[in-house]
Amino acid sequence: MPEPFPAACVYLTGPTASGKSAIGLELARLLGAEIVALDSMTVYRGLDIGTAKASPEERATVPHHMLDIVEPSEEYSQADYAVAARRVVDDILARGKTPLIVGGTPLYLKTLLRGMFEGPPADWELRRRWEAEADRNGPTFLQERLAEVDPPTATKLHANDRRRIIRALEVHELTGRPLSTLQREFERPRSEAVGRVFLLEWPREVLFARIESRVDAMLAAGLVDETVHALAAPGGMSRTARQGLGYRETIEMLAGTLPREELAAAIKTHTRQFAKRQGTWFRSLEECRTVPMTEPVDSRQIAQRIYAQLASG
């Protein structure tokens, strides 16, 4: 059962396209820190464009960890991440450095701050059964079933978040208890983490404009070719990798279920929806200290402001 991370960690989070990477680099320089990526997709080798992964040049200026550690064909869970990232953080601390954890995967952030209930191991036969039920009965079927046995979890998850809904159903079926009940002991914030988690917060309309620009840039940079290459590699792409924003829609387009001319719009729509869900999660974490954001962004100035807040406690 992954335990909360050490109090010496500093966190920089925010929704997609909020500027975390650039500000994180500046803050790492000020802190003399090493960056630990907090992202469910940047762990995959070769998935660079769609994840806005730190470039080789950026990695050369500040050490980065938890990038490119598994093949796209592999499943990689929240618990896998927590265990591997803890080893990295312990090593950074042992060398007298500060771990700066940068990213926007809300469930991963909550796990690092408060620990997590792992639950029973995956039952792939059971998962395949739920997948088949969803295919037969429509996009809202799984969430409706989850609402019958675990209303709190069903309320938190979007109907399109099939992977997490199936996990919640799986936990209930294997343990006889709702996931929300089992996770309850990890709902309380730890006082030592309060004030060390910085949340970049944008006006919604400005953030959405940034998301649209990012999606256009990703497609121009070769997102489709990157997806084709990942699918063609030995083992292809795992269920988890296929769920990544941009990749999921591109795979649908390649399969002929999404018209090519609708690809950009679909990615933008789903990314905006994801950003809204991220905001809901972040606002539920009392550890977060809000950093208001506006255009134009001066990453160094924002990093200096965060550094000053850390120094003042």
Query: Of all helices (H) and strands (E), which one includes residue 289?
Result: strand 288-292
Taking residues 291-311, what's their average pLDDT? 95
Provide the pLDDT confidence category of residue 1 given band limits of 50, 70 and 90. very low
The residue-averaged pLDDT of 21-46 equals 97
What is the CA angle 180-288-116, rounded to 5? Answer: 30
Question: What average pLDDT does this structure show over 130-148?
Answer: 92
Residues 6 or more apart whose Cβ sits within 8 Å of residue 250 = 50, 223, 224, 227, 263, 267
Q: What is the pTM of this model?
A: 0.80
- In sequence order, what are the residues at sequence separation of 6 or more whose Cβ sits closer than 8 angstroms to the Cβ of residue 54? 21, 35, 37, 42, 64, 67
H or E element: which one contains 11?
strand 10-13
If DSSP codes are grouped into helix, strand and coil, which group holds residue 170?
A: helix
Domains of the chain plus CATH, in order, are 10-116+193-312 (3.40.50.300), 124-184 (1.10.20.140)
Planar angle of CA 17, 18, 22, nearest 5 degrees:
95
Q: What is the pLDDT of residues 83-136, one digit of tens each?
A: 999 999 999 999 999 999 999 999 899 889 988 766 788 899 999 999 999 999
Residues with Cβ < 8 Å from 158, sequence gap 6 or more?
273, 277
CB 179 within 8 A of CB 153: yes
Average pLDDT over residues 250-279: 97
User: Where residue 68 falls among pLDDT bands split at 50, 70, 90?
Assistant: very high
pLDDT, tens digit (0-9, with 9 covering 90-100), for 233-247: 999 999 999 999 999
Structure-token pair, residue 200: 């970049």
Positive or negative: CA dihedral 169, 171, 173, 177: negative
Which position has the higher pLDDT, 185 or 284? 284
176 Cβ partners below 8 Å, 6+ apart? none
pLDDT at 240: 93
Q: Across-strand partners of 102?
A: 12, 37
The residue to which tokens 């009965």 are assigned? 137
Which has more pLDDT, 64 or 190?
Answer: 64
CB 245 within 8 A of CB 270: yes
Using CA atoms in the order 259, 261, 264, 269, what is the torsion angle rounded to 10 degrees? -60
Q: Scan for tokens 């996009």, then name that residue.
A: 139
Q: Burial, 81: exposed, middle or buried (Cβ in 10 Å; 0-12, 13-18, 19+)?
A: buried
